[in-house]
Each structure stands twice: as structure tokens, then as C-alpha cells.
Chain A
Amino acid sequence: MFNKLINDSASKSPWLYHINSGSCNGCDIELVACLTPRYDAERFGFKLAGTPRHADIVVVSGPVTSQSKERLIRTLAQVPEPKCVVSLGSCPKSGNVFKGSYSVEAPLDDYCHVDVSVAGCTPKPEAIMEGLYKAALILKEKREAMHK
């Protein structure tokens, strides 16, 4: 019973940690817009955490610049299991308009497993919310797989 309670809670209180890996700030603003009164992501239990140790879902925006790559990998390693990685915007997916630049090491899935990818430049807050909600459901599956 106790285990079931924990499994059910896994998808109902996903805390977000946001990493900016060289984003143009467009996606970051839209992510914050999700938390404002208009869209109110807190009604699903989403909360912005201050440190990667508290996070369940890591939201990565930006095209992974050479400067931020190492920090990104180190930060992702600090997040306790079960965790989900959401790539926000077209930048981490393909490099977007920065593709081909000498300082951009674009696709994020070269460095970690990406669970949900929200495309768009910038994605709408509705799309971001849907992506985050899917990530929350994946979180529950991962937790169930961890404790069979």
C-alpha cells in the first residue's frame, strides 16, 4: 500500500529545474510564463526548485554551447533518480538557427537521454505544459520500474 502511495505521488508533484545552455532567453521566458497566474502550472504540482538535488524534471533550453556542455553534464549527474529530461525549444533538438556555428554542439541527445522534447521557436506555453505533463507520467513509469 505504501509503495503504491509513493508511486501515485511520483507523477503528482514534479519539481522542475531549469538549465540554460546558451539559450536566447526566449524559451526561458515562456517556461516562466507557464508558472504565472494565466497558465498556473502549480495546479498540477509543478514547482521551480532551486537546486538540481531537489529536481524531478530537468528542463534544458538552448543549443548546448561548448562552454556550457561540461556544466550541463555535471548538473544532470547531480539529479537523484527517478528523473526526466525535457528539451525545450528547437535549439537543443537540432541547433536551430545556430546550427553550424563553431561554438555550438547541438543535439542534446548526444550527451544524455531525452524523455520529452518540445519543439518550436519558441514553443507556446500550452505546448510546454503538455510536454511537462507527459514527463510527469514518464516519471511514474520510471519509479514503478525501479521498485517492481
Chain B
Amino acid sequence: MIILRSLFYILIFPGALFTACFGLFLTGVDRKVVARMQHRIGPPLRQPMYDFFKLLGKETIIPHAANKIAFLGAPIIGFVSLALIMLFIPVGGLTAFSGNADMIVILYLITIPGVALIVGGSSSGSPYAGIGISREMVTMMAYELPFVLVLLAVARKAGGSELAFSMEKVAEWQAANGNMLFQWSMIPAAIAMLLVVPAEVGTQPFDVAEAETEICEGPLIEYSGSALGMFKLNTAMKMFVMSGLFVSLFLGGIRTGFAVCDVIVFILLCIVVTIICMSTTHAVTARLKIEHLFKFYWTFVAGMALCSLILVWCGL
């Protein structure tokens, strides 16, 4: 019975299938909102679904210079780690697996899709991919520091005198004391997290690694067919995972009394977070240069997160 339940969690809800479907839907919402902001009609909401299935039906070309195993394995590794992260994030009232150090597990798992992109790109043997992966690495270093600081601030706030690295505890604390977002000492951390989310997903102003107009999609340059489809799916899932993480860290613990309503509230909040931090920035900004991105994250964003951390540590 327990095995069956775990399998259901991992494969269907809130694991692989749910994350994939809702991630694709969220990407559709993002594209539609950007289109409306630019005064266009925009693609239908299920356009990412069409893109994904079309890519499954295309020929997958493996270049001569590529290492076959790493080239085809990288997107699968990214997919698996993203499906795993979703098991630790409380969806409504339901956390599939919870422990004492969820946040640390999430922190490790969330770097894996980026690493998978680096492995895939470097095994494809293209010089453009080489530039792309070096940029991807710098981006990862840039957002990782503020991300860790935000998690520390949240853990300290929820844990009181000691650090609470459990997502369950964070949700309980918020159910008792009101949302993290409305604690004034946490507002800088929330802003920092809102800026970490688009960098992690790699949307418009922060998509330096996959700049299609200058380095031809960087690490993805040699990918085609179903392997490319998996990478596109990974990006879509990352969008859901990161907005879900924001919701559970700062807007979690909303309880209506019905499990289904809780899940619906969670999903609506995810859509709102996506529109605020990804679609809007996408529609109004142009791509940054890599050195500007690094400087922005290590000064402004990390500064905001540090500010919160110090305030929380002083007991405010």
C-alpha cells in the first residue's frame, strides 16, 4: 500500500505527470500574457503542448563529435531531478515526502537541471555551446548566493531560535502567524527571491546562456527532436517548480479546509507569481550582458537577501 502510494506521488501527483502538464500550461500562460502586453493575439494556451509533441515526432540527429550517452542522457537527468523537487514542495496541504532538511535537498536538486544543460551542451562538441555553457555556469554562480541567503532567512524566521529547514514547518509557521510575505523584515528577501526565479528558469532579461540571436541557443544548438523536446519540457517544469517554491516559502500555509481548494489556491498563486516575475519582466526588458547580470545579482539581489537575513537574525 505504501509502495503504491509513493509510486502515485512520484509518477502522477505531484510528481512527474502533474509537474509536466502544469509546467507546459504555465508556459502557455506566460507566452499569452507576454503577447497581450505587446498588443498581439498570441499563441493558444496549449501551444507549448503542441511544441512538445511536435518535437517528439521529429528526427533526433546526433552529431559525429558528440558523446552519445551524455548527449541523450542529460535531458533525462534534468527531468528526473525536477520531478523529484516537486515531491518536497507542499502543494496545498499535501507534501509527498517531508523530512528535517527539505530545503537543503531542494537546494541541491535545483542545480541539477542547470548542470544537465552544461553536460549536454559540452558533449555536443559545438563552439557555440562552449560559450553557452560558460555563461550558464556564471549565471548559476550569480543566483545561487542570494538564493541560499533567502532560504537561510526563511529558515531562521520560521524556526525561531534555531533553523527550520523543513518545508512542512515553514508552512505550519505561516498557517499560525500569517504569510511570510507580509512580515516586514521578510519583504527584501521576497523581492530577492522574485528576481532569483527568472534567472533560475532562464527567461528574457536573464537568458544570456540561451541567447538565440547571438549564440544560437547556446547549449541547445545541436539538439533536435525528442532530446530538444525534453529540454523544453525541463524549462517548463522549472517554471512551475520555482514559482511553486516561491509560493510555499512566502505565501504558504493558506488553509481553506478542503484539500482540493488548497491545491487550487496554490495553482492560482503560482500563475500570479509567474505573471509578475517572469511575463512582466520578459515583456518590458531586453537581454542583459553576462557581466551586468553577475554584478546585479551579487550586489543588489544578494544585498536585499542579506538585509532580510540580518533583520531576522536580530529578532525582528
Q: Give the complex CA separation of A51 and B216 in angstroms.
A: 6
Taken residue by residue from 213 to 225, chain B's Cβ proximity to chain A (1 for < 8 Å, 0 otherwise) reads as: 1001100111111
Interchain CB contact (< 8 A) of A49 among B39, B47, B61, B212? B212
User: Closest Cβ of chain B: how far from A42's Cβ, in Å?
Assistant: 5
The stretch among B48-56, B152-160, B235-243, B257-265 that forms the contact with chain A is B48-56
Question: Taking CB as reference atom, which chain A residue is nearest B52?
Answer: A9
Answer yes or no: A10 CB below 8 A from chain B CBs.
yes
Q: A37-B40, A51-B216, A80-B225 are in contact. Are A45 and B56 (CB under 8 A)?
A: no
Answer yes or no: A13 CB below 8 A from chain B CBs.
yes
Answer yes or no: B33 CB below 8 A from chain A CBs.
no
A residues 40-97 in Cβ contact with B at 8 Å = 40, 42-45, 48-51, 53-54, 56, 78, 80-82
Q: Is the beta-carbon distance between A5 and B217 smaller than 8 angstroms?
A: no
Question: Taking CB as reference atom, which chain B residue is nearest A40?
Answer: B40
Answer yes or no: A7 CB below 8 A from chain B CBs.
yes
B residues 30-58 in Cβ contact with A at 8 Å = 31, 35, 38-44, 47, 49-54, 56-58
Q: Is the beta-carbon distance between A81 and B40 smaller than 8 angstroms?
A: no
- Interface contacts (Cβ under 8 Å), in number, total 88
Answer yes or no: A6 CB below 8 A from chain B CBs.
yes
List the A side residues contacting B39 at CB < 8 Å: 37
Q: Is the beta-carbon distance between B42 and A6 smaller than 8 angstroms?
A: no
Question: Taking CB as reference atom, which chain B residue is nearest A80?
Answer: B59
User: How many B residues touch the partner, as a band?
Assistant: 20 to 34
Q: A50-B217, A81-B59 are in contact. Are A40 and B35 (CB under 8 A)?
A: yes
Answer yes or no: A124 CB below 8 A from chain B CBs.
no
Interchain CB contact (< 8 A) of A53 among B35, B53, B223? B223
Q: A5-B53, A50-B213, A53-B221 are in contact. Are A43 and B43 (CB under 8 A)?
A: yes
Answer yes or no: B228 CB below 8 A from chain A CBs.
yes
Q: A40-B42, A42-B42 are in contact. Are A9 and B50 (CB under 8 A)?
A: yes
List the A side residues contacting B50 at CB < 8 Å: 8-9, 12-13, 45
Question: Taking CB as reference atom, which chain B residue is nearest A50?
Answer: B212
List the A side residues contacting B49 at CB < 8 Å: 9
B residues 48-85 in Cβ contact with A at 8 Å = 49-54, 56-61
Chain B residues engaging chain A, CB cutoff 8 angstroms = 31, 35, 38-44, 47, 49-54, 56-61, 212-213, 216-217, 220-225, 228
- Can you list 21 A-B contacts (CB < 8 A)? A6-B53, A6-B56, A9-B53, A9-B54, A12-B47, A13-B47, A43-B40, A43-B43, A43-B44, A44-B43, A45-B51, A49-B212, A49-B217, A53-B222, A54-B217, A54-B220, A54-B228, A56-B54, A80-B60, A82-B59, A147-B57
5 closest A-B pairs by beta carbon, nearest first, are A50-B212, A80-B59, A6-B57, A9-B53, A53-B224
